[in-house]
Amino acid sequence: MDHPLRLLPSIKAIQDSEVYIKWKKTASISETYLTALARDVVEEERQALIAGKPYESKEEVHRKILTAFDKRVRELLEPLLTQVVNATGVVLHTNLGRARLSAKAADAARVAGSSYTDLEFDLEQGNRGARTAKIEALLRLLTGAESAMIVNNNAAAVFMILRTFAKGKEVLVSRGELVEIGGSFRVSSIMAESDAQLIEVGTTNKTRIEDYAENLTENTAMVMKVHQSNFKIIGFTEAASRQELAELAAKHGLLFYEDLGSGALFDYGRLGFGQEPVIPNIIKEGVDLLSASGDKLFGGPQAGIILGKKHLIDRLKKHPLARTFRTDKMTIASLGATLQSYLSEKLEVEIPTVRDVVADAETIKTRAIKLKKALALYPSIQAEIVPLTSRVGGGAMPDVPIKSYGVKIQSSELPAQTLADRLRTGTPSVIGRIEEAHVLLDCRTITDEEIDLVGQAFAKLDFKKRL
């Protein structure tokens, strides 16, 4: 018998194969990379044979290697992010990329990305201009803050603020606000990385202003309030008010900073959705600095938005970390366009996050009816319009249910899990949820145009059609 490693094809044999030539011709991929991929695939099979993978015929090994090679090239050429239809009803789904950008914001990002821009150039004066001056002007106008700054994301904002103002010093935080959000962001670990010392005050459910006062030392630099984001403590609770914290901080020459997490610029509470405080009010209540995410309730691109007193923000802007955490031109463009929508009376139409949170159930029901109609083509599918409960997600308003509608689907050909799997891995990918023996598609997070895409996704599942 041949030595198992003799079963492996030569690189030359792969280069002469139909698949190799196909990729070379159709995708005009450079030989350098095709050959490197061929080597990788052969090497992996070699390792498998060494590890004792059962002996196969030479032909079978070759076929397997060519299939693996073909798959490898195809995967590398797929778009890095695949469009997904979010039928979960979670408006800000972190795994699905949080906020959907408005058409204006997406377009602004495309223009900024594909052209030269006046990013750091003053067109009137013909000399160097400030990178984020316009965005800061918009933020000041919309929030009433003295000054503004943007960074890469809110985690960067938190780190930078702690590092700049509390390095080697103590920061007071209520035990009720020591949050961990998805993806291992913990206030305590960011604090440790920034070399600020976390002083926990109060208890999980009750923290009074006296608890802060009692923990003040010579070395206290900051009183920090953290938005509870993804959880809610209910029942016997108490927290110091912003006014109390602002007074305490002012009296002792400390900085009062709030990590707002989501950060709403739109008053969702006014329309009956939760009690998320709006940024202009938080500023009026006396915080020195606050930070929020651009892609949560704000409804824009990933960014960290810092607002507050001018002298403090000037210090942040001069800090070497400012360069480390700065935003790119596409973020500046799309965040700017999102902020411009906030100026408009049509913001509830323009900004998808706002639109999708506040859309009334009847509007969603109309969409569900349209989806049900598209599915009526398939006799093996039973689709029923059902009331559902959507969520905001993204660590915002965890306790706020939103009345919604969707379609409850059952197939006589496939069990619910298989149907959900096929929809998820289909084109386009449709992500719903399973409840008992049904797949639920919540129509709150699906646009009218995407309803047609869901129809197309079903068309590709090969269900028998009604004649």
Ligand X SMILES: *Cc1c(COP(=O)(O)O)cnc(C)c1O
Contact residue for ligand X among 155, 199, 209, 248 (CB under 6 A): 155
Which residue, 94 or 363, is less far from ligand X as judged by CB? 94
Using alpha carbons only, what angle is made at residue 386 by residues 369 and 230, rounded to the nearest 5 degrees? 115
Nearest one of 345, 341, 358 to 271, comparing CA atoms: 358
The DSSP bridge pattern shows strands 84-86 and 429-431 to be: parallel
Shortest Cβ distance from residue 179 to ligand X (Å)? 5
d(CA 100, CA 82): 14
d(CA 65, CA 442): 42
Buried b (16+ CB within 10 A) or exposed e, 207-228: bbbebbeeebeeebbbbbbbbb
Shortest Cβ distance from residue 196 to ligand X (Å)? 15
Shortest Cβ distance from residue 260 to ligand X (Å)? 7
Q: In sequence order, what are the beta bridge partners of 85? A: 430
CB 342 within 8 A of CB 266: yes
Burial of 135 (0-12, 13-18, 19+ CB in 10 A): buried
Contacts by residues 413-418 (CB-CB < 8 Å, ≥ 24 positions apart)? 413/380, 413/463, 413/464
Told to check if 254 binds ligand X by CB under 6 A, we report no
Contact residue for ligand X among 45, 170, 244, 259 (CB under 6 A): 259
Shortest Cβ distance from residue 99 to ligand X (Å)? 11
Which residue, 182 or 387, is less far from ligand X as judged by CB? 182
Q: What are phi and psi of 116, to 5 degrees?
A: -80, 150
Stretch that binds ligand X, among 115-123, 258-266, 420-428, 449-457 (CB under 6 A): 258-266
Contact residue for ligand X among 202, 261, 301, 393 (CB under 6 A): 261
Contact residue for ligand X among 73, 87, 138, 179 (CB under 6 A): 179
Burial of 202 (0-12, 13-18, 19+ CB in 10 A): buried
Told to check if 171 binds ligand X by CB under 6 A, we report no
Shortest Cβ distance from residue 153 to ligand X (Å)? 3
Which residue, 155 or 313, is less far from ligand X as judged by CB? 155
Stretch 271-300: interaction string toward ligand X, x if CB under 6 A: ----------------------x-------
Contact residue for ligand X among 132, 143, 147, 153 (CB under 6 A): 153
In 412-464, beta strands by DSSP E: 429-431, 433-435, 438-442
d(CA 207, CA 223): 13
Stretch 208-247: interaction string toward ligand X, x if CB under 6 A: ------------------xx-x------------------
Contact residue for ligand X among 143, 154, 327, 411 (CB under 6 A): 154
Residues 297-316 that bind ligand X (CB under 6 A): 304
Which of the 8 DSSP states describes residue 200?
E
Shortest Cβ distance from residue 281 to ligand X (Å)? 18
Told to check if 258 binds ligand X by CB under 6 A, we report no
Which residue, 97 or 269, is less far from ligand X as judged by CB? 97
Told to check if 121 binds ligand X by CB under 6 A, we report no
d(CA 407, CA 439): 8
Contact residue for ligand X among 395, 400, 423, 430 (CB under 6 A): 395
Shortest Cβ distance from residue 296 to ligand X (Å)? 6
Which residue, 17 or 153, is less far from ligand X as judged by CB? 153
Told to check if 334 binds ligand X by CB under 6 A, we report no
Max CA-CA distance within the chain? 87
Shortest Cβ distance from residue 262 to ligand X (Å)? 6
CB 73 within 8 A of CB 23: yes
Which residue, 258 or 350, is less far from ligand X as judged by CB? 258
Residue with tokens 């984020």: 132
Q: Where does this chain bind ligand X (CB under 6 A)?
A: 153-155, 158, 179, 181, 185, 226-227, 229, 259, 261-262, 293, 304, 395
